[in-house]
Amino acid sequence: MRNPFTALFRARDKPQDSVSAAPTFYFGTSGSGKPVNATTAIQLSTVYACVRVISETVASLPLGVFEARDDGNRKATEHPLFRLLHDEPNSEMTSFVLREVMLAHLLLWGNSYCQIIRSGRNQVTGLYPLLPDKMTVDRDKNGILTYTYMTNTGQTVVLSPEDVLHIPGLGFDGVMGYSPIALEKNAIGLGIASEEYGSKFFSNGARPSGILTHPNTVKNPKALRESWNAAYGGSSNANRVAILEEGMKFEPMAVPNNEAQFLETRKFQVDEICRIFRVPPHLVGDLEHATFSNIEHQSIDFAVHTIRPWLVRIEQAMNRALFTDQEKGRFYVQFNIDGLMRGDYKSRMEGYAIARQNGWMSANDIRALENQNPIPADQGGDAYLVNGNMIPITTAMNGRAEDTDQSNPNQTNPERRRYT
């Protein structure tokens, strides 16, 4: 008898022949009837704003190569990768543009691909972004990943894993990422449908559609409809006076906007799309829930819970694909997110004052964080100061005992007599 659970539980030690086979969540028609893909989704203003704010934030952060040493970590400016990642990854774009494109691919398609150009000594000399919708990831007969890319001319190029910097988004197999647009196509499709409804409503002169009734039989209804739309349809014909002949009547039949909750639906879709990308609404221009007291914390939450996971994903992928086996563990790629974590001016100054008074930051340490020139050491720039009112309790007790002995040298200390 066949075991009924064999179809449910399968071994994971057998790689599938195809990795990029069609998943359950796919681009296509949403529940609202609107097609949702990367092209239609990016035309929605909230999706465009979310993709732009995340990609530009990551692209604007400093990215460098560092070397781990016994005396501390330092920038490896002499490493060939430093110039590629920090300044110019190839002859056609800057580092900002490359990272912006990579994040846009991740947010729309769920995967980012870059072709790695290497020299004869196996050093990386260039990085070129590849379109995710033209890339197919499969496994060969030995279970090794292969990347097949179709160029603009229709030519097929097969790349090995060593020649591709692949950064997957959220996925279920650890190899391929799934597109947030495809996973949440119903929510985005509703936003597209509401925008299209509003456009058609105002293109019709903000007047609801209806039915023309005639007491007798209409010989040519098509001509009547076309003449009515030509005379009274569209925003250019708004507020025109209609003349009805031969007993005709106009009966509106569309649902009023207040009953359809058109504006409420559009507001909800802004929050829904921001929830998909984990972007605070105030960063896309929605200040309804933003206040003076919480907007700073929302920005810090955006840096911690939205930007930092993307940075870690990119850093680990680059460390894995761009360094040789001899360099791994010694060199690494890292973003500098200190600028994102900075609060407003007042909060920073209050924090600096606490650090300065408690002796764990000097004036030059603070000026370095504010990108200011240091104070010379002979003027106290490197001095660490402490508050005179905060001293160890043992020092306070010893000082009190010495004061007592000096004020009355003939008096015996009662504390000493008690314990002798």
Block means of pLDDT (10 residues each) for the chain, 420 residues, are 48 47 60 84 92 95 89 86 93 95 95 93 92 91 90 90 93 88 88 82 63 74 75 59 72 60 79 91 81 76 91 95 91 85 75 86 86 85 78 62 54 45
Q: Give the count of domains, the chain.
A: 2
Specify if 358 maps to a domain. no
Q: 127 and 266, same structural domain?
A: yes
Task: Name the packing angle between helices 185-203 and 262-277 (round to 10°).
Answer: 150
Q: Are residues 116 and 237 in the same domain?
A: no
Asked whether residue 306 is domain-assigned, the answer is yes
Residue 101 counted as domain residue: yes
User: According to the model, what pLDDT value does residue 157 have?
Assistant: 93
Question: Are 328 and 187 members of one domain?
Answer: yes
234 and 179 inside one domain: no
The answer to whether residue 184 is domain-embedded is yes
User: Are both 52 and 29 inside the same structural domain?
Assistant: yes
Q: Is residue 346 part of a domain?
A: no
Do 165 and 288 sit in the same domain of this protein?
A: yes
What pLDDT score was predicted for residue 236? 56
* Same domain, yes or no: 177 and 289: yes
pLDDT at 285: 82
With respect to residue 385, please indicate whether it lies within any of the assigned structural domains.
Answer: no
- Give the per-residue pLDDT at 14: 44
Could you say which of 253, 276, 309 is where a domain stops? 253
pLDDT at site 386: 78
On whether both 152 and 68 belong to a single domain, the answer is yes
* Last residue within a domain, chosen from 326, 341, 356: 341
pLDDT for residue 13: 44
Residue span of the structural domain in which 83 resides: 18-206+256-341
**Stated pTM of the model:** 0.72
314, part of any domain: yes
Q: What is the pLDDT of residue 417?
A: 43
- Statement to judge: residues 96 and 219 lie in one domain: no
Pairing relationship of beta strands 124-130 and 111-118 according to DSSP bridges: antiparallel
Domain boundary among 186, 218, 253: 253
Whole-number pLDDT of residue 239: 55
Q: Are residues 188 and 297 in the same domain?
A: yes
Asked whether residue 4 is assigned to any structural domain, the reply reads: no
Query: Does 215 lie in the same domain as 310?
Result: no
156 and 99 in one domain? Answer: yes
